[in-house]
Structures are given as structure tokens and as C-alpha cells.
Structure 1
Amino acid sequence: MLLGLGIELSPAHFLYTGPLLTAMPALAALTMGPVGTLSAAAGALGVSLTTTTMHHAWGDTQIYSNLLGLLVVSAASVMTSNAMCNRRQSELDQIRRIAVAAQEVILQPVPARLGPVRTSSLYLAAETGAQIGGDLYEALPTPYGVRVIVGDVRGKGLAAVRSAAAVLSAFREAAHYEDELMAVMNHCSAALRREHSGPDDAVKDCGDDHAEGFVTALVAQVPPGEPVVDVVNFGHPPPLLVHNGKVHELAPTSPLPPLGLEEFVTDPPAKAESYPFAVGDRLLLYTDGVIEARNRCKDFFALPEAIEAVHARTTEEFLGQLHDSLIRHTEGHLTDDTAMIVLERADV
């Protein structure tokens, strides 16, 4: 349109710009949507009317033919653009429904009550429009008590989702028949190795370095009838225990490497470590997306201080207030997936 207007206002105005302006709505319909197409048509029509009036060309049959063609092309372009937008929206809605279904399979909602504990969970994917990512969690009632896992897969994208699904599937199966937490995690590690060495090369060719991935993970167990919690930590941020309003970090005395890197350790695997977990205590398991979240000044999110500032009666309110604090700190700009799950001891 600017080119046509420039020609009409220059000494080269004898050149016929009608076909150029008539094509504008059709070109706009390819990318600009109904509103943008209508705006382009209005602009082309405005240029045509302005230049026709300036050159006193009214009465020329070619001018009327040009305006009629412009109106016909504009109407057809607007209808075409509207149909394309409706089709794209329908496809996007279908993709979102599939994403929600996938999230419900991989990250199933945590029940509000599991045996002697009350639970609540929160997941935030950093990627815009994503429902799932590389973080994982699960809480299950088992014959050995309530067992919980939280993990973080190295990397992002489809490869991270596949690794998270493999670890969660192994945990959901082994948690019900293995009496030792270390044995449960051995199953998870084996599932991760099988996933990385699988025959499907489609994911490996996507540039995600699928074969070199690993998973930091932490598994906790609240046995029935005992005021303790057992923890095994595979290179994951340590859980935080809230007792009488004070936050205590449950750092492992025998650190273990992330799942997938066990071959670099020569010492025998450690056993689960037990910590007091009395009635009313809360245990927060989280991924590094929480503690590594930064504000515009590059300050990390102070999770222990944020927990001590929370005054919530329920676990859902507890996570809700932490979520609000995290969003305020980052101003809504998360750079990594974030997962949190909280356990509250209800009875022994």
C-alpha cells in the first residue's frame, strides 16, 4: 500500500497501481487474521479513493472496475481468513485437550489424604502453553506406608517428558512390592537406562542429548504407626521440614548421584535416612525450579523464609501462599519447571 501510494504521489503516477492494491487483502489474509485483513482492505480502498480524487479520475470505467474488484477480493479474503482462524483454533483446542490428558496420565492429581498424612501438590511448567515438562512427582499409599517421589529430569522437551514418564511408571509399580526404598529407586534407575538405550531414535535426533540424560530424585516414606519419615536422596535439593513454625533442611549424610549416573560411584548404595515427623509437622518436597527462581535483580527465591512467612491451615493453602510468593518474586517469569508437594502428619 505504501508503494502504491508513493507511485500515485510521484511523477510516475501514470503507472497503474490498481492490481497492486487489489492484491493487498488477499496477502493479508495469509497471516493477519480477519481484523488485519479488513484493515488492509480498508487501507487499500483508502489509497484508491484518495489518489482517484487527487487526479480527478472519477468517471473512468477502469476506476470503477478496480474498486469493484477490490471490494470482491476484500470480502473473499475476510471470509477465508475467518475460516482459517477457526480451523487453527479448533486444532489448537484439540492439542490442548491432548496435553491435559497426557498430564493427567504422567502427573496424576495427588489425593488430599493418604493414610496418616494430608497432601497437596503444585506443578508449573516454564514453557509457554505447556502442561507438562521435566519435573515429576507422585504420592502413593502402599503396604509400607505413604511413599512419595519428586524428581527433575535434565533437559527439556519431549525427551524430558519421556524420561519422567519412565521413572514414574517404575516407581508406581515398585513402590507396592519392594520393602526398601533403595530397591524402589533401583527399579526407577533401571527404567531410565532402558529408556535411554531404547531403539527409538526419533527423539535422540531432536538435539536433546537424550542418551546422556539423568534425573535428580528424592523419595520419602511415612510408615504407619511411627512418627518418622524415611528419605533417600539422589542428587536432589533436600526436603524442608516445618516443625513448630521453624524450617529445617533434611540434608543427606551420604549423598548419592542422580539416577543415570550410578556408574560413577564405587561405594555401596546408602540406606534410607530417618527423621522425626510428628503430628502437625509439614514436609515440603520441591524441584530446583523453586530455589533457583530469580527476580529482576538476579536474587534467588528464599524458600525457607517464604515458608516461615506462611500461615495456612490446610496443605492446599500452604502451597497456594508459596505459589503467590514465588510469582511475586519472579514477577510471573519462571525460567524452569517448578514442582512442589507437601505432606502434613495428621496422626500416627
Structure 2
Amino acid sequence: MQALLRSFLRLGVGGHGRVPLALMQCVPFLIGLAVLVIELTPAHFIYTGPFLTAIPALAAVTLGPRGTATAATFALAISVITATYNQAWGSLQVYTNFLALALVSVAGFLTSGAMQARRQRELDQVRRIAVAAQEVVLRPVPARLGSVLAASLCLAAGTGAQVGGDLYEAVQTRYGVRMIVGDVRGKGLAAVRAVAVALGAFREAVHYEDELVEVMNHCAAALRREVAVPGAYDQEVLLEGFVTALIAQVPDGPVVQLVNRGHPPPLLLHQGRVTTLMPISPMPPLGMEDLLTGPPLEAESYTFLPGDRLLLYTDGVIEARNRDSEFFALPEAMEGIRPSSPPPEFLEQLHQALVRHTEGDLADDVAMLLVDRLNGEPEPPSDGAGVGQRPL
């Protein structure tokens, strides 16, 4: 019976999609209602005992132990009602039905618990593999990079094991500290591949390209080459995929230079007030170069003084909603945090504010990269590329 139901769950309805889980969860209760209708009408001559015993067996497949117990209680209640209505108490058939229902209910409850434990173990294993795969691509950001202090945060949405498409990196170079934050459309292996390609191109180009725009162009060209590889992406990503990206550079002077390709603008915290660094000339995301019109893309400069803080983030932060469908007010949350908090503590407080706002139910992945401008001399650039993630 359970093998048959699992096969049914894998089938598409009319060849399109899968049977909704909610529909399968309703089946045991619909059967119970059908039995009740039969027993309380002139059709009560139909023997409904096997239908009642099937209710906990069906519930064990999709409802878990608690749902199975609820379905068994529901079936028992129907059996009592129908036996009373039909004045069948004392007959061998009634007690046989009760015994069969009790045996199937206990077996279904135990089987459901075992199935749930097995599914949880499998999901935990897949999650561990997904996290390990993502940590290979995104590594912790150093606490000190040249003339800035840095910290990063990455949160996965939901309870599934899908690997997200958020990316970031911070690298100290001879041109200053260069950073990238991006968001690949979609999840899964295709998104991870796009993240790896974009970060690989960024890590290489930041050390050799004088112009920040050329670094972005290298990332775009690498993604175009990857999409052209047969079988690199599934059909959905190939047709509709794109990557929003923001590249920032903090040179020796009191400025920050930005190149933005369709990404949420960074926020600058200066003397307790937050300013949104909106791009002067908005540009489409990577992968949508056909929409590029007008003058060539240029880096835009903004004042970034010692003591200022710059936050780069993905859209999962500002699009996080509460029960009333209100978006998370990121600028107000930044202004409400103690200015002297070190970058890791500052991001942790933002994290807690986000969790409170969404009650722990994130609809999208979240990534944030925070840098503080220092007063002192910058450290010499390191030989290796900078890094990217501290999952919380």
C-alpha cells in the first residue's frame, strides 16, 4: 500500500507537475467523510470496514506520527458513530473492525515515525553536503583588509537543502580593497556554478585590471562563456538566468568607487545617518547585456571618510517581510545599532533584527558585507586573494 502511494506521489497530474502534497494529506479524511455518508444513508448496506482501516495507513505516508494519530482518532470516532447509529453494538463485525483499526493505527504510527526519522537523516546529510559545497566557494572574509575592517554574514532561506546563489568577496590589491556582492537568479547546482564562475573571474581580474569597470566586464564575459557550454545550466536558467552584481573599491583616498549592474545600492553610515548610494546611471544585471544602451559604464565615486561604514547586501535583506507583508527597514535598523560596535557585532545585531522582523522565516537567501574605514595607514596587499563567507 505505502509503495503504491509513494509511486502515486511521483506521478504528474495529467503529465504536468506533481500531485500537491496538501491534496494527498486530505485523502484519509475525505475517505472518512465518504464512509460517514454511506453509513448514515440507505447505502449503509455497503461494508465500509476496510475503508476505515485504510485511513491511518494512508495518513502514515504524508502526515507524520501526529497526523497519523489524528487520522486514527478520526476513523475511530466514525466507527463509534456509525455503530451507534446502526445499533450494531455487540456484533462480531463491530469488534473485528475495532481490532483491525487499532492494529493498523499502531503500525501506521510506528511506520510514520520511522519514515520521518529517515527523511530527516537524509535531509540533514544533504544539508551538510550543500553547506560544504558552498563553503568551498565562499570563505571567511579577513577582519582587516588594507585601510578597512571587514565582516560578512550569510543566511540560507527556509528549511530545505537547496544551495543559494548569493556571492561576495573582498580582496586587498595594489589598487586598494576591492569587493563584490552579487545574487544569481535561482538555486541549486546551476546557481553554485554561476557563483563559482563570477567569483573566479573577480578574484583574477582585481589584481590586474586598473579600471573597476573592466573587472565587472571580466565577470560578465566569464558568465557568458559558461552559459555557452552545452549542459552547463538547466533550461530555465539558460533562458532566464541573470546575475545582479555590485563591485566596490576603497582606494587610499577618502572615497569609495562603485560599479553597479542591477544590484541593490549599498548603504553608507556616516555620523549615525544612513545614505543610499544610488547609481547615477542604472545598468541591467550581468547576462542582460542586450539591454545596455547609452554611454559606456563608468565607476561612480562617493565620499567614504574614516569612521564611516559601508554595507553591501543582497535583495534577500530588504525584501524580507513580516506577517503584515512589510519589508525590513534596513536603513533604520542600521541607525539603531550602537556606532562603536565592531563589524562582526554590528552584523550580528542586524541579523537579530532581521530574525525578529521575519520571525525566523526567510523567503530568500541573505548575504551582507560590512567594511569600516580606518584612520591609519593601510596594510600592504597580501599575495592571495581575499575571501568570502561566515555562515551564521
Partner of 1:157: 187
Q: Secondary structure at the match of 1:150?
A: strand
Larger Rg: 1
Match of 2:13 in 1: none
Trace 1:21-32 onto structure 2 (pairs within 5 A): 21-32=52-63
Structure 1 position 85, deviation (Å): 1.6
Q: How does 1:1-348 map to 2 (within 5 A)?
A: 1-48=32-79, 51-52=82-83, 55=87, 57-58=89-90, 60-125=91-156, 129=160, 132-153=163-184, 155-158=185-188, 159-200=190-231, 203-204=234-235, 207-208=236-237, 210-223=238-251, 226-252=253-279, 256-262=283-289, 264-265=292-293, 267-270=295-298, 272-291=299-318, 303-312=330-339, 313-326=341-354, 336-346=364-374, 347-348=376-377
Q: TM-score, normalised by structure 2?
A: 0.71
Which amino acid is the alignment partner of residue 101 of structure 1? A
Question: Is the Cα–Cα contact under 8 Å of residues 152 and 369 in structure 2 kept in the other structure?
Answer: yes
1:23 partner SS? helix
Query: Within 2, Cα distance between the matches of 1:92 and 1:23?
Result: 28
Deviations 1:55-74 (A, max 9, x none): 2542x444444444333333
Structure 1, gaps ≥5 residues long: none
CA displacement 1:192-248 (0-9 Å, x = unmatched): 1112222116612xx34x34533332212234x554433333343433333333434
The equivalent of 2:23 in structure 1 is none
Aligned-pair identity (%): 62
Q: Which runs of 5+ in 2 are unaligned?
A: 1-31, 378-392
Residues 262/6 of structure 1: CA separation in 2 closer, same or farther (3 Å cut)? closer
Shift of 1:179: 4.3
User: In the aligned structure 2, how far is the partner of 1:116 from the partner of 1:26?
Assistant: 65
- Using the TM superposition, give the Cα deviation of residue 170 of structure 1 relative to its aligned residue in structure 2, in angstroms: 1.5
Contact 1:121 1:340 in 2 (8 A): yes
Distance 1:240 1:72, change over 3 A: closer
The answer to whether the Cα contact below 8 Å between 2:170 and 2:178 also exists between their aligned partners in 1 is yes
Rate the CA distance shift 1:39–1:234 in 2: closer, same or farther, 3 A: closer
The structure-2 alpha-carbon separation of the partners of 1:66 and 1:322, relative to structure 1 and needing over 3 Å to count, comes to closer
**Post-superposition shift, 1:174?**
2.6
> What CA distance in whole angstroms lies between the structure 1 residues aligned with 2:105 and 2:322?
48
Contact 1:100/1:131 (<8 A) preserved: no
Distance 1:131 1:157, change over 3 A: closer
TM-score w.r.t. length of structure 1: 0.79
Contact 2:134 2:192 (8 Å CA) reproduced: no
Q: Cα 1:200–1:44, aligned 2, differ >3 Å: closer, same or farther?
A: same
Tell me the matched-pair count. Answer: 341
Distance 1:142 1:130, change over 3 A: farther
Q: Deviations over 1:280-320 (max 9, x none)?
A: 22112223444455677777655444433332421123233
1:48–1:202 CA distance, 2 compared to 1 (3 A):
same
Alignment-mate amino acid for residue 259 of structure 1:
L
Counterparts in 2 of 1:131 and 1:118: CA distance versus 1, 3 Å? farther
Return 157-166 or 309-318, whichever deviates more.
Answer: 157-166
In the TM superposition, residue 40 of structure 1 has moved relative to its aligned partner by 3.1
RMSD between aligned residues: 3.5
Once the two structures are superposed, residues 135-163 of structure 1 have per-residue CA deviations (whole angstroms, 9 ceiling, x without a partner) of 3211123344322101233x333454443
